[in-house]
Amino acid sequence: MSTALATALGPDAARLPPTLRRAHATPGRHRFTGLAQVERRKGPLPWLLCALLRLPEPGRDVPVTLVFDNGAGSDHWDRRFARRRYHSRFKAGDGRDAGLLVEHMGPLRFRFRPRLDGDGMLHLTLESMSVLGLPLPRPLVPHCPAREWQDHEGRFRFDIPVTLPGLGFVIRYGGVLEPV
């Protein structure tokens, strides 16, 4: 049985560092906890977007719990940042989406291109997005160059910046997690 990310990465999945492999390429349930730093642009539109998606509230040393439930055909991620919790489901793309990791979050669908660089850093680049099954025009797709890596102490690190065309910076959250 292969996980969604391992399928999307193909042969490169074998090069994932151990901590990322446990989280993303090992079937079963894996729980990680740690702390995050969350920056968010002020203003009603960024607040509304983050509230609708249940993205983290701003803060330093925000407690984080992330549960990866990797199963046959799809993976489920349950994220909790302090009091804010959100959930999504991932599938490996097929057909025209082959090689992509497709995230379903309520009425939204995000298509990420996963890439593992020579240092073992995982890059998840948002390629396209749809709302209620309708594709968002390319100029309106958020810019979200997410990165994950294993640090020198073997911990899971992540950095997720999000900018919107015409608006700029909306939110950036990142931190360090350890397996429980």
Tokens of 109: 């669908």
List per-residue pLDDT tens for the chain, 180 residues long.
Answer: 479 999 999 999 999 999 999 999 898 999 999 999 999 999 998 888 888 888 899 999 999 999 999 987 799 999 999 989 989 999 999 998 999 999 999 899 999 999 999 999 999 999 999 999 999 999 899 999 999 999 999 999 999 999 999 889 999 999 999 999
DSSP class per residue in 71-140: -SS-EEEEEEETTEEEEEEEEE--GGGTT-EEEEETTEEEEEEEEE-TTS-EEEEEEEEEETTEEPPGGG
For residue 163, the model assigns a pLDDT of 94
For residue 48, the model assigns a pLDDT of 87
Domains of the chain, residue spans: 4-148+165-179
For residue 1, the model assigns a pLDDT of 47
Cβ pair 4, 101 in contact under 8 A: yes
For residue 72, the model assigns a pLDDT of 74
For residue 88, the model assigns a pLDDT of 94
- Give the SS3 label for residue 148: strand
Q: Say how many Å lie between the first and final Cα of the chain, rounded.
A: 23
- Centre a 10 Å sphere on the Cβ of residue 16 and count the other Cβ atoms it contains: 22
In whole angstroms, what is the distance from residue 151 CA to residue 121 CA?
10
Specify the amino acid at residue 148: E
- Give the SS3 label for residue 50: helix
